[in-house]
Structures are given as C-alpha cells and as structure tokens.
Amino acid sequence: MGLGIMSLSAFLITLVTGVLLMCYYKPSTAVAYESIKDIHFVVPTGRFVRNIHRWAANVMVVAVILHMA
C-alpha cells in the first residue's frame, strides 16, 4: 500500500508541476530550447519547479516498478 501511495503522490506532483511548466514552455522546434533556458534562468523558481518535476517523474517510475514487483 505504501508504494501505491508513493506512486500516486509522485504522479500528482508531476501533474501539478507539469501544468506550471506548461504555462511557460513553447513547444515549437525553433524556440523549444530557448524556452527551457528561460524557465531555468529567467522564471522565478523555474529551476526548482523543473527539478521537482524531473525527480517526481523518476520516483514515480521506480515506485510503480517496485509496486508491480
């Protein structure tokens, strides 16, 4: 049960931070890299939100694999 709650929590964190990042990301091939750099260096707490999003996604993958095992 603990791994299921961990998976759900990581999913919800990834969902919330993904929506926040979606407000600033531009998916065009011409400006995608620049928008990531802007999120990382210009947007207040952008680096923090992006790192939380990345870590929560990694934790979710590991927790789901362990939960299924």
pLDDT digits (tens, 9 = 90+) for 24-65: 998 988 999 999 999 999 999 999 999 999 999 999 999 999
CB contact at 8 A, 35 and 23 = no
Q: Are 42 and 6 in contact (CB under 8 A)?
A: no
Q: Confirm if 24 and 36 have CB atoms less than 8 A apart.
A: no
Q: Which residues contact 47 (CB under 8 A, 6 or more apart)?
A: 39, 40, 41
Instruction: Note the pTM of the prediction, 2 decimals.
Output: 0.87
- Quote the CA–CA distance of 18 and 27 in Å, as a whole number: 13
